[in-house]
């Protein structure tokens, strides 16, 4: 069994102002808003630069993690033309969430937010 962390091999862009459009088009865009006494988390891919969604090149999943634990996962097909998902979570303020998207050609890309 590997000792590698669950999220190893994931591209995490630290500064969107210092990267290429290729990196921007793969980086998840995360927002959050109150949902009653819970928090709605929205994750979009293609917010910064549109990502193509063709039969052989598209976003096939978006997952949301707290630490190494996945708390939501969405599988997508190429017809999901504007990959965007939403989930309501019951987490303490100050919790850091990581969204990870999977491109069928370009691998895993992540972004983080603290709610």
Shortest separation between residue 87's beta carbon and Fe ion, angstroms = 23
- Other beta carbons within 10 Å of 50: 13
32: contact with Fe ion by CB under 5 A: no
> Which positions from 46 to 85 touch Fe ion by CB under 5 A, shown as an x/- string?
----------------------------------------
How far is Cα 10 from Cα 31, in angstroms, rounded to an integer?
20
Shortest separation between residue 91's beta carbon and Fe ion, angstroms = 30
How far is Cα 104 from Cα 16, in angstroms, rounded to an integer?
22
Output the CA angle 27-14-41, nearest 5 degrees.
Answer: 50
Of 106, 108, 112, 113, the residue at the interface with Fe ion (CB under 5 A) is 106
Residue 22 DSSP one-character state:
H
Rank residues 62 and 87 by Cβ distance to Fe ion and give the closer one.
62
Rank residues 50 and 70 by Cβ distance to Fe ion and give the closer one.
50
Q: What is the 3-state secondary structure (H, E, C) of 85-103?
A: EEEEECCCCCCEEEEEEEE
103: contact with Fe ion by CB under 5 A: yes
Site residues for Fe ion per CB under 5 A: 103, 105-106
């Amino acid at each position: 069994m590997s000792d590698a962390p669950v999220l190893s091999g994931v591209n995490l862009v630290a500064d969107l102002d210092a990267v290429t459009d290729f990196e921007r088009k793969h980086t998840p865009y995360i927002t959050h808003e109150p949902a009653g006494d819970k928090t709605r988390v929205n994750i979009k891919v293609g917010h910064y630069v549109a990502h193509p969604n063709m039969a052989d090149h598209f976003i096939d999943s978006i997952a949301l993690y707290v630490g190494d634990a996945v708390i939501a996962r969405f599988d997508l097909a190429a017809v999901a033309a504007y990959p965007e998902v939403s989930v309501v979570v019951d987490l303490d303020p100050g919790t850091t969430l990581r969204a990870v998207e999977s491109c069928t050609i370009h691998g895993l890309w992540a972004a983080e937010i603290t709610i």
